[in-house]
């Protein structure tokens, strides 16, 4: 556990270093276009080297809360995105260009949407106050070669080489530059005040920010050696708590009962985080206790069913999902999870019925479409499989492994042009360019539709040329 905690701390520490990437610029702040450029690069490295949670409900919920809070800030030139990283470390951070990340461990520690809104509001305020872009503009030039060194440090940290990772990361940036990582006390108080104004205007209780800050502080003081990174990059926590208490005493509207909260949204997202993205054995105990204490609540059975399914106990998971549906009929997420568990248990016909019902009730249910397509494949009903998987491709083209199963389904129908095209997309996403080239060339030969041929040729033209003596893989 200590080694795992060290890995997590290093990954977050080095990611925090990415916020200090810099270009030559006059004193002040970067232009918005330059900040967006850095933001794209920053987000790419984070997404490549840290596990971003694609769970539709969790990601969609956090994005919705972030966008609601953002709407109460002055109009912005940056396009903000809010994403969740799978990590037990208590952390959240804002990168350049409005890319804001929060760790699943921090969400798991929360008890209400007020706490989430408070953290997101604070991070938004750092971006809108140009604290990040000012840091970037103040530094000396740092090259993309150095950036690669920082990422290499992150990878060493992920492999458990803590000393090597720190040496590389801090050697790449100078010690004087690493001292610039922490926000100043003035930065923090400004972000707190602006964040509090906005979350209060959005209808949240400002005390949520105090509650989550106290949990972070207590995690550092009691029972763990895993220091919350947030408290290192966001200093003066005690001063901030006192300041926020004083600010709310002068701004009574921030203490009113929450008006904007989506309690069911928070409860479901929080339950999914606990069940799917925290320590499995601890989740089993915690969520089993929830069933024992609140057997009449659908969410108790839903959460326990999720962690049972995660543990491969699909027969038991089915029982709890069915119990939850008796309490809350026609819930698309319950229907979807029941269908998914039935799929893995080999109960394809019942799975089909429940998954079809789920996507009819919720036409944007990505998981429902995916497992519906796979269930039809298992039943040998390939035209139906292609139909639902292509609907998902229109809805969420980046859905994991979707292109692979689409290629497989088209292949079963003898549609080799489309089969090789989708397999090429799958291998492109995996970074296996030559395997992708092989499938695109096969698709080019097999495809007869002019529109599809143009699409294939366009992808081929964007691939790097084959090096002399290099052969395409045979598959």
Burial of 24 (0-12, 13-18, 19+ CB in 10 A): exposed
Number of folded domains in the chain?
2
Handedness of CA 158, 160, 164, 167 (dihedral sign): positive
Lowest mean pLDDT among 8-12, 381-385, 468-472: 8-12
- At residue 94, the pLDDT reads 84
What average pLDDT does this structure show over 452-458?
92
Among 197, 221, 255, identify where a domain stops: 255
Whether the Cβ atoms of residue 90 and residue 100 lie closer than 8 Å to each other = no
Q: Which of 148-162, 270-284, 359-373 has the lowest mean pLDDT?
A: 148-162
- For the segment 315-328, the average pLDDT, to the nearest whole number, is 98
- Confidence check: pLDDT of 391 > 90: yes
Return the residue matching tokens 């200093």.
235
- Going from the C-alpha of 272 to that of each of 27, 53, 109, the distances in angstroms are 45, 11, 13
Q: How confident is the model at residue 181 (pLDDT cuts 50, 70, 90)?
A: very low
Terminal-to-terminal C-alpha distance of the chain: 41
Neighbours of 289 (CB within 10 A): 12
Predicted pLDDT of residue 268: 95
Band the pLDDT of 132: cuts 50, 70, 90.
confident
Kindly state whether residue 471 falls inside one of the protein's structural domains: yes
- Higher-scoring residue by pLDDT: 371, 211: 371
Alpha-carbon distance of 299 to 303, in angstroms, equals 6
pLDDT of amino acid 239: 74
User: Facing residues of 82 across strands?
Assistant: 100
Which SS3 state, helix, strand or coil, does residue 424 take?
helix
CA distances from 63 to 100, 116, 215, 309 (A): 10, 11, 23, 26
Say how far apart CA 457 and CA 7 lie, in whole Å: 43
Domain boundary among 234, 255, 276: 255
Tell me the range of 25-39, 174-188, 441-455 where mean pLDDT is highest.
Answer: 441-455
The domain boundary residue, chosen from 255, 288, 320: 255
Note whether residue 197 is domain-resident. Answer: yes
Contact (Cβ atoms closer than 8 angstroms) between residue 438 and residue 472? yes
- Give backbone dihedrals phi and psi of 5, rounded to 5 degrees, phi first: -60, -40
**Taking all residues of the chain, what is their mean pLDDT, rounded to a whole number?**
81
pLDDT of amino acid 420: 96
Residue 172 belongs to some domain of the structure = yes
Rounded to whole angstroms, how far apart are CA atoms 389 and 404?
10
- Is 289 within a domain? no
Residue 211 lies in a domain: yes
Q: What are phi and psi of 430, to 5 degrees?
A: -80, -5
What is the pLDDT averaged over residues 79-105? Answer: 90
The whole-angstrom separation of Cα 366 and Cα 359 is 8
Q: Give percent of the chain with pLDDT exceeding 70.
A: 76
* Residue 459 maps to a domain: yes
Return the structure tokens found at 71: 């709407």
Three state DSSP letters for 30-94:
CCHHHHHHHHHHHHHHHHHHCCECCCHHHHHHHHHHHHHHHCCCCCCCCCCEEEEECCCCCCEEE
By mean pLDDT, which of 127-131, 148-152, 207-211, 285-289 is the weakest?
Answer: 148-152
In a domain, 396, yes or no: no
Q: Are 54 and 170 in contact (CB under 8 A)?
A: no
Residue 461 forms part of a structural domain: yes
pLDDT tens by residue, 228-242: 455 455 555 677 788
Look up the domain containing 471 and give its range.
403-475
In this model, does residue 349 exceed pLDDT 50?
yes
């Amino acid at each position: 556990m200590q080694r795992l905690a060290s890995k997590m701390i290093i990954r977050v520490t080095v990611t925090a270093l990415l916020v200090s990437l810099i270009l030559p610029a006059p004193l002040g702040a970067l232009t918005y276009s330059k900040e967006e450029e850095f933001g794209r690069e920053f987000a790419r490295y984070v997404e490549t080297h840290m596990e971003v949670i694609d769970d539709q409900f969790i990601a969609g919920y956090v994005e919705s809360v972030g966008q609601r809070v953002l709407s109460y800030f002055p109009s912005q030139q940056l396009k903000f995105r809010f994403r969740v990283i799978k990590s037990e470390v208590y952390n959240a951070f804002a990168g350049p260009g409005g890319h804001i990340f929060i760790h699943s461990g921090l969400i798991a520690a929360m008890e209400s949407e007020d706490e989430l809104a408070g953290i997101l509001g604070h991070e938004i305020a750092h971006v809108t106050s140009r604290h990040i872009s000012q840091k970037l503009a103040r530094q000396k030039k740092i090259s993309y070669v150095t950036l690669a060194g920082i990422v290499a440090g992150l990878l060493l940290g992920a492999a458990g080489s803590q000393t090597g990772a720190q040496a590389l990361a801090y050697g790449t940036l100078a010690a004087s530059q690493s001292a610039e990582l922490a926000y100043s006390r003035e930065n923090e108080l400004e972000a707190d005040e602006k964040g509090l104004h906005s979350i209060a205007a959005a209808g949240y209780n400002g005390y949520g920010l105090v509650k989550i800050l106290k949990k972070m502080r207590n995690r550092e003081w009691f029972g763990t050696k895993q220091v919350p990174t947030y408290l290192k990059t966001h200093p003066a926590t005690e001063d901030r708590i006192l300041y926020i208490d004083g600010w709310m005493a002068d701004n009574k509207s921030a203490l009113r009962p929450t008006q904007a909260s989506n309690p069911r949204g928070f409860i479901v997202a929080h339950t999914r985080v606990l069940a799917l993205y925290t320590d499995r054995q601890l989740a089993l105990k915690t969520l089993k206790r929830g069933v024992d204490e609140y057997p009449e609540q659908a969410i108790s059975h839903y959460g326990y069913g999720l962690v049972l399914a995660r543990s491969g106990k699909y027969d038991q998971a089915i029982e709890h999902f069915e119990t939850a549906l008796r309490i809350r009929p026609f819930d698309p997420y319950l229907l979807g999870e029941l269908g998914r568990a039935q799929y893995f248990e080999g109960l394809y016909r019942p799975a089909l019925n429940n998954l079809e019902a789920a996507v009819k009730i919720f036409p944007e249910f990505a998981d429902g479409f995916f497992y519906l397509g796979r269930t039809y494949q298992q039943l040998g009903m390939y035209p139906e499989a292609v139909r639902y998987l292509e609907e998902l491709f229109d809805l969420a083209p980046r859905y994991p492994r979707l292109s692979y199963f689409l290629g497989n389904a088209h292949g079963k129908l003898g549609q080799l042009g489309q089969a090789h095209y989708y397999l090429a997309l799958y291998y492109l996403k995996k970074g296996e360019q030559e395997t992708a080239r092989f499938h695109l060339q096969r698709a080019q030969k097999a495809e007869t539709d002019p529109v599809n041929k143009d699409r294939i040729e366009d992808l081929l033209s964007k691939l790097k040329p084959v090096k002399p003596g290099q052969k395409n893989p045979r598959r």
